[in-house]
Amino acid sequence: MTDARKNPSGGGCERIDCIGLFEKIVVFVFLAILSAGPPSARAGTVTGADWIVRFNLPDQTTSYKTVGPDEFVIRDAWLARIDALKKGDWACLSTYTFSGPSESAGAAGPILGAISNALARGASVGFVAANGVDVASNFWPGCSLKSLSSRKSNPLKLSRAPSGGIMHDKLGVFWYKTSKERWVLSGSWNYTGGASSQQWNILAEIRNDKLAAAVSNELSQMLGGLFHANPAKSHAPDGTRFRLSGAKADSWVRFAPYPDGAYGGDNALRDITNAIAAATTDIYFSLNKLTRQDVVDQLVRACNRGVTVHGVIPKSDRLYPGSDSYAMYTNLLHSPAYTTANRVLLYDAFYAADRTSYDNNNRDLVHTKYMVIDPLGPKPLVIHGSANWTASALVLTSANDENVLFLSHPGIAAAFLAQFAAETDGMNPRLLSMAPRKDGALDIAYWLPPLPVASLPKSLAASPSLASPKWVAVSNLTATPGTHTLAIPAATNAARYFRLQ
């Protein structure tokens, strides 16, 4: 239930302090959204006809003895794709960081072992590493990236980015000859143990030939030594459009660096701000970094036209002046451009999947980089990839190597909402604001999440006190997801406290 205290000072358009929780979270969040039939789901995996979304459930321990359900679900998805490679198949992987030798609680070690076995089976494998990746260490017995690339027979094709820019992709493509399937894996997860145990991350697996061809082009250029600032690197794969099964609109992919570094030019930032400007009902974002004022401006405008916006940014990136996201986070809270009481709703992430405590300034606790727009509408959109929401990742023509997917699909939107529900309490029904009328009545705004109707609260209740509460229903609720407003007569306003129940 959600409780709210009415501001006793009166006057103006007042905010409400929400002090309760509504614990109907991950299991049902998919079901009210999908228009193309329910997916196959468990806590960290949602599966569609030609896509899979997986999100890990961190436990904040790195011991192999405490590995929890779905803690390593993203790593295991990568391993399964590598293990499926046979003679004649081709794959290419890329990562920004690489560490963790443990078979059960690591990443680099198991991945090296899986690549070694795939090469022995006759598969062709490429690996694109950021400049800071350790290519020489044996994270697996007898195996390093360098040693695999030095095999006499069927070596790994290894390419390491030069200094001066950042190869920030966490991207892979898999071409299976026998099944004729081509899969792309794109996410926020780097190849480290901590990315599973100590961060919130998410992965999208997409089976689509057009997307696979574009990603293969992009990764093959980097395998050939063409990174970020190299003017010979082609923009041909950037902007490739494709259609997923059950979708009513095209999806597309952007690759950084971009053809146009102007704000409002041909780059991912333009696509993002245009998408926010078109939002009509709800926006959810989970971002490791947000430094673009353009994005903040569009989110504030979305609130002004009645869109409900929910977001999370880790404390490590926005808590103190000087933190990368501090200025934008502060603007989201206090922008003078707000024209109504509807503001961006910002949450602290849960510290771990057990949901017993919140972000304690753990570095990069929220490592995801996504936004979900209008998940219940006719044009749901998920923006997701390797890119933090910064100029170097979304705008510039000579900085990072990145990928950003724009995925138009209701099922994928539902899957990303499930991650948001696991990571935050942002899927709890809540009272948003109240404004007094001249006749003494109150307009109380409330929001209901995209959960099955049977799981939603049914009424607004009032009580004169929280010390010895006596909750009395004063109005029925509109039992559909979204933002609604109730007009509460003056006679009921003597109550100082309200809640949804």
Is cis: bond before 257, omega within 30 of 0? Answer: yes
Q: Are 313 and 325 in contact (CB under 8 A)?
A: yes
Please report the pLDDT score of residue 494 as a whole number: 63
The DSSP string of 284-312 is EEEES-B--HHHHHHHHHHHHTT-EEEEE
Please report the pLDDT score of residue 11 as a whole number: 27
Please report the pLDDT score of residue 464 as a whole number: 82
Query: Angle 279-282-284 (CA atoms, 0-180°, nearest 5)?
Result: 105
Please give the domain boundaries of the chain with CATH numbers for all domains. Answer: 2-23+429-500 (no CATH), 26-423 (3.30.870.10)
Q: Give me the sign of the Cα torsion angle 107, 194, 102, 205.
A: negative
Please report the pLDDT score of residue 145 as a whole number: 98
Please report the pLDDT score of residue 456 as a whole number: 85
Q: Hey, what's the torsion of the CAs at 335, 420, 290, 341, to 10 degrees?
A: -10
Q: What is the mean pLDDT of each run of 10 residues along the chain (501 residues)?
A: 34 28 32 35 78 96 79 96 98 97 91 98 98 96 97 97 94 97 98 95 98 98 94 95 96 96 93 98 97 98 96 96 96 96 95 94 96 95 98 94 98 95 89 80 85 83 84 86 83 74 85
Q: Are 351 and 358 in contact (CB under 8 A)?
A: yes
Please report the pLDDT score of residue 8 as a whole number: 28
Alpha carbon distance 55, 422 (integer Å): 9
Please report the pLDDT score of residue 43 as a whole number: 56
Alpha carbon distance 258, 267 (integer Å): 6
> Which H or E run contains 345?
strand 345-347
R_g of the chain computed on alpha carbons = 24
